[in-house]
Amino acid sequence: MKYQKILIKKDNIVEVQCPKCLTRRTFPASKLGIQKHYVKLKCTCGFIFLVELEFRQKNRKTTNLEGYFFNLSLSSRIGDPIKKISETHLYHDGRFLKPANCQIKSMSKSGVGFITKKPPPHGIETGNELRLIFILDNSAKTEIIKKVVVRYVKQNYIGCEFVEKDKYDTALGFYFLS
């Protein structure tokens, strides 16, 4: 049986729809046992279905985009001053000028998750600041350059939060609408 993903909203309210009769119910997340991530629910029609509770503040979009990152924290430790990366575009005429070193797997308006192409140890730790560059798969092939802070590391999967608001936020906003 497949799980239905449900986003827990800021006000701690969930909205569930029965896959059989399509009845919608809205109620406090605390009724589901807030500590659990997977829950069985029974609809008023008698149908039993499974839900996965998503505790994120924003929905994530699954992606498969080539990307390139610099570890700004590591660069400053070894005394290698990095020029302002936003002046150094790494993408031109449909291809990266440097080989991609990561694959962007998911994005939200507040962050990104990617897989490094280099297996551990890759030198990335929670709290590191990275400069992340990737190309959206929209019709304009928009190049996004963002400063992020690492919030989660598990083997070669890295979860990051965007730390700056900039001109790229508009492009990302339109990307999430598509």
Chain segment 122-143, per-residue pLDDT in tens: 889 999 999 898 889 988 888 8
The pLDDT assigned to 56 comes to 60
User: Which is more confident, 13 or 105?
Assistant: 105
What local confidence, expressed as pLDDT, does residue 84 receive?
Answer: 40
Per-residue pLDDT reduced to its tens digit, 46-86: 999 988 776 665 667 889 998 988 888 875 544 443 444 33
Whether the Cβ atoms of residue 114 and residue 68 lie closer than 8 Å to each other: no
**Angle made by CA atoms 153, 98, 81, in degrees to the nearest 5:** 70
Q: Which two tokens stand for residue 9?
A: 């909203």
pLDDT of residue 172: 86
CB 79 within 8 A of CB 126: no
Question: How far apart, in Å, are the Cα atoms of 134 and each of 69, 93, 141?
Answer: 9, 14, 10
Q: pLDDT above 90 covers what percent of the chain?
A: 24
**Structure confidence at residue 158 (pLDDT):** 94
Report which DSSP code applies to 156. Answer: T
**Largest interatomic CA distance in the chain:** 65
Which of 9-18, 91-100, 123-132 has the least mean pLDDT?
91-100
Which distant-in-sequence residues (6+ apart) come within 8 Å of 140 by Cβ?
Answer: 171
Whether this model's pTM surpasses 0.75: no
Gap between the Cα atoms of 54 and 60, Å rounded: 10
100 pLDDT higher than 60: yes
Specify the pLDDT at position 47.
Answer: 94
What residue segments make up the domains of the chain, in order of their start?
A: 3-54, 61-177
Give alpha helix (H) positions in the chain. Answer: 72-77, 168-177
Q: Considering the chain, what percentage of its residues have pLDDT values greater than 70?
A: 78
136 and 144 in contact (C-beta within 8 Å)?
yes
Evaluate if residue 6 carries a pLDDT over 90. Answer: no
- What is the identity of the amino acid at 53? L
When mean pLDDT is compared across 23-32, 75-84, 93-102, 123-132, the lowest value belongs to 75-84
* Domain 61-177 bears CATH identifier 2.60.40: no
